[in-house]
Chain A
Amino acid sequence: MRTLRMYFLLYGAALRGQTQYRGNFVMMMFAGLAYQGVGLAFIWVLVGRFGGIAGWTLGQVAFLYGIRLTAHGLVTVPCAQIFSVDQILREGDFDRYLVRPVNPLVQVLTGSLSLQVFSDLLGGLIALGAAMSTVRIDWSAGALAFLVLAIVGGAMVELAIVLAFASLSFRLLSVRSLILLSLTTMQNFGNYPIAVFPAALRFVFTFLFPLAFIAYLPSTVLLHRTGELSVSPVLAWGAPLVGVLLFAAAYRLWVRQSRHYASSGH
């Protein structure tokens, strides 16, 4: 599809533009890993002292963590700019995008790149790899396929949430705080099995702010823990599909809201 071709073309350009900032790259990667690592370190100490969280062993929690972080990396590597949409709109770069025969969202996402985002993906894969060697999972072709689907689906859920909020910046002045709040919520609460939370919160994270679909629900399938769910296991098996649906809805919202664009100044 032409849009995809344009995306790769412009993403490549953004990458090439970053090569001169290579110097800081290694440090940034370490910093990114440290950032993600601190959360995991907390869980590690916790489980070490208490033997488990809601019945999940350290390996299992690390598995959940790995899925979430990899999914997050799958969002930040191609689409990190989505977190800065309101700034992009405010600085007037959007006009430039509207005048070109390319999807403006693609241009927004490829406008700039920070190499640091690769650390999320790397960290996620490391955690996932370490966890996979610890937990007892029968890695059949089907299980592996579901794992891949789960990660991609999780990425789509996160992207859908952020894209939906970003769409609001066409009408509202600043949604940056909202987006950051969503991000920290996903990063804090998303690392724990939702079974830990009280019923009301479980409901919120399943049906209002669909955090559960990012990593928890698919994990229960792969870890054979669907029994602990307070919702139907169908939702867990269908998590990737939910991701696709949510993303489609968020994209439609974006397109509709972009019609309200009132470019400011020059």
Chain B
Amino acid sequence: MAPLITVENLAKEFRRPKRHTGTFGGIRTMFTRQYTVSRAVRDVTFEVAEGELVGYLGPNGAGKSTTIKMLTGILVPTSGTVEVAGTVPWRDRERNARNIGVVFGQRSQLWWDLPLRESLRLIGKMYDFSREKYHANVERFTELLDMAEFLDTPVRQLSLGQRMRGDLAAAMIYEPRVIYLDEPTVGLDVVAKERIRAFIEEENRDRGTTVILTTHDLDDVERLCRRIILIDHGTVLYDGDHAALRARYAPYRELVVTLADGATADIDLPGVEVTAAAAGSATLRFDPDRMSAADLIGAVLARHRVSDVAIVEPDLEGVIREIYAARSVRA
């Protein structure tokens, strides 16, 4: 089956007039002919099939938001092609808009002074959505997101968690084929985050809605995304699933050893890297393919007086940190 989203050699350059400083800097800037060029996206290629739930990750300034903006039709690419559900977003903006829903974590799409219910109604009308399906969806989302108690409250008075739920409902009320979520759980408490994640997962699973998730919260990613696309300096660093990511970039496990009577360990074992050492503890990194945890523990116990051990799997955050570190060394 043809992929829903195709991105090929996508690039975006920003030419900004060079800002002059000093006297009359403002006026000189207005008339300048010099430009600074910043290449936010250099060469990005990937495909997304319908129904996937993809995490789109990268450090700040990596080109994440720029890519998403090209996918949603906000920006026009400098070169390369992008197609979503058979439509070129920047060329057929309105047609593309009908297929997508967007949640900007930082700012709301709702009408500030009106009750939430009104915002949903307006959106239903803007998308010419069928009335029966609209009402059915309002009921369904109200229940799923537990919005009954604040559906008639002006959006201005909602808490952050309530507003985020409202924004999510607004983005999906007209059943778009793709939704782009930008930091949907930022600033929320643990319970609220879980509720939102559960909702996203359910919509993806039951309705087959394709989800592109951009977030710095790696718990979101661990919970929801089977596939991760990692971007940095405007190019794709990694595109694949979770496990493979770890296997490729962080093929290790760590053993945290607490030493008896707070001695500083001088642990020197073949195939073992000491990644952290302090008075009374040490973290040993080893390759589970080469050495089993049991063997390592045995070797440590033989040589040192140990009071406690713990095995730590590299979490997604650690993996990604490794990737960024390697990248900046290489770059």
Q: Which residues of B contact A18 (CB under 8 A)?
A: 113
A1-42 residues with Cβ-Cβ distance < 8 A to B are 6, 9-10, 13, 16-18, 20
A99-B74, A266-B106 given; A172·B65 CB < 8 A: no
Q: Is the CB of B113 within 8 A of A20?
A: yes
> In the complex, what's the smallest C-beta–C-beta distance from A83 to chain B, in angstroms?
20
Q: Is the CB of B114 within 8 A of A16?
A: yes
CB of A92 within 8 Å of the partner chain: yes
CB of B320 within 8 Å of the partner chain: no
> In the complex, what's the smallest C-beta–C-beta distance from A82 to chain B, in angstroms?
20
Q: Is the CB of A102 within 8 A of B106?
A: no
B88-112 residues with Cβ-Cβ distance < 8 A to A are 93-95, 97-98, 100, 102, 104-107, 109, 111-112
CB of B75 within 8 Å of the partner chain: yes
CB of A49 within 8 Å of the partner chain: no
Q: Which 5 A-B pairs have the closest CB atoms?
A: A17-B113, A101-B97, A101-B94, A266-B106, A98-B74
* Complex CA distance for A172 and B32, rounded to whole angstroms: 11
Q: Which residue of B lies closest to A6 (CB)?
A: B126
Q: Is the CB of A16 within 8 A of B118?
A: yes
Q: Is the CB of B107 within 8 A of A92?
A: yes
Task: Assign chain B's interface to a size class.
Answer: 20 to 34
Q: Which residues of B contact A189 (CB under 8 A)?
A: none
* Complex CA distance for A93 and B14, rounded to whole angstroms: 20
Interface code A225-266, partner B: CB below 8 Å = 1, 0 otherwise?
000000000000000000000000000000000010111001
Which among A6, A13, A95, A172 is the interface contact of B111 at CB below 8 angstroms? A13
> In the complex, what's the smallest C-beta–C-beta distance from B12 to chain A, in angstroms?
9
Which A residues have a C-beta under 8 Å from some C-beta of B?
Answer: 6, 9-10, 13, 16-18, 20, 92-93, 95-96, 98-102, 172-173, 259, 261-263, 266
Q: Is the CB of B114 within 8 A of A95?
A: no
Q: Is the CB of A99 within 8 A of B100?
A: yes
Q: Which residues of B contact A100 (CB under 8 A)?
A: 97, 126
* Complex CA distance for A263 and B73, rounded to whole angstroms: 11
Q: Is the CB of A99 within 8 A of B102?
A: yes
* Complex CA distance for A74 and B14, rounded to whole angstroms: 38
* Complex CA distance for A148 and B79, rounded to whole angstroms: 50
Q: Which residues of B contact A99 (CB under 8 A)?
A: 72-74, 97, 100, 102
